[in-house]
């Protein structure tokens, strides 16, 4: 199943929201790959009830818009835990009550024990996270879910950076999202992409943001897929 891209309205509203919350920042930031990026996305700054509730709305809208079929949600520790919880609450508000679960970083050897927490993991499980940087978190989630007898059915993220991944110190010709789609055979839906961010910067009336359109475009031209 090829997923439709996010609607222009949804992507634009999300980018505006992320900028307003300070989650999307502009300047010069060094990435894990050693690149100097003109923008930085930190989902950890959706850090109060109002922001998290609004974020859950965006995730739920994108999920319903994508048409992906699923039975439950899974949030990889740590950021995915809060995200999956927020999406589950919003889906229930919209009339679809679905279970969710998450994992611990280390297994618990007392009480209920184990690595997985929440609803019993079963059926088609949708993984919720903020971004996909290298696919490591997704691979670990797949391993945990399959070991529990469930079937990972897709990944829902906030932002697709549309950026070349790295192997060692070399760029490769595919992004982390493309790796998950092609090699792990999972559909990935993003609320917005780097292209949406660029479009926002080029169309905004805010001069303080307009100046970053060219640096982001140059970064996209150099490292984009």
CATH of the domain at 195: 3.40.50.2020
99 inside domain = yes
- Domain of residue 181 covers 8-223
CA 168, distance to chain mean position in Å, is 24
Strand partners of residue 163: 224
1 inside domain = no
143 inside domain = yes
Phi, psi of 116, rounded to the nearest 5 degrees: -90, 140
Count structural domains, the chain.
1
Asked if residue 24 lies in contact with residue 206, where contact means CB atoms within 8 angstroms, the answer is no
Q: Which of 32, 105, 110, 170 is catalytic?
A: 110
Instruction: Give the pLDDT of the chain (225 residues) as one tens digit per residue.
Output: 678 889 999 999 999 999 999 999 999 999 888 899 999 999 999 999 999 999 999 999 999 999 999 999 999 998 999 999 999 999 999 999 999 999 987 765 544 557 899 999 999 999 999 999 877 889 999 999 999 999 999 999 999 999 998 876 677 889 999 999 999 999 999 999 999 999 999 999 999 999 999 999 999 999 999
97 inside domain = yes
Instruction: Look at residues 145, 156, 149, 147 and name the one whose alpha carbon lies nearest to residue 186.
Output: 156
3 inside domain = no
Q: What is the pTM of this model?
A: 0.93
94 inside domain = yes
2 inside domain = no
16 counts as catalytic: no
Q: Which of 51, 108, 164, 170 is catalytic?
A: 108
């Amino acid at each position: 199943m090829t997923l439709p891209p996010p609607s222009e309205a949804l992507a634009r509203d999300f980018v505006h929201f992320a900028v307003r919350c300070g989650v999307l920042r502009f300047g010069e930031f060094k990435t894990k790959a050693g690149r100097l990026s003109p923008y930085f996305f930190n989902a950890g700054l959706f850090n109060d009830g109002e922001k998290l509730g609004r974020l859950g709305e965006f995730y739920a809208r994108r999920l319903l818009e994508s048409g992906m079929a699923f039975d439950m949600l899974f949030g990889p520790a740590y950021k995915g835990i809060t995200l999956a919880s927020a999406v589950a609450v919003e889906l229930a508000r919209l009339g679809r009550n679905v279970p969710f679960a998450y994992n611990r970083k280390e297994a618990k050897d007392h009480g209920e024990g184990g690595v997985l927490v929440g609803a019993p993991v079963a059926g088609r499980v949708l993984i919720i996270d903020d971004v996909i940087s290298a696919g490591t978190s997704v691979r670990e989630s797949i391993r945990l879910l399959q070991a529990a007898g469930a079937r990972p059915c897709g990944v829902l993220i906030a932002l697709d950076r549309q950026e070349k991944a790295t192997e060692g110190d070399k760029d490769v010709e595919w992004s982390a999202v493309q790796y998950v789609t092609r090699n792990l055979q999972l559909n990935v839906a993003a609320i917005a992409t780097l292209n949406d961010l660029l479009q926002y910067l080029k169309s905004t009336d805010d001069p303080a943001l307009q100046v970053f359109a060219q640096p982001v475009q140059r970064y996209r031209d150099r490292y984009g897929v």
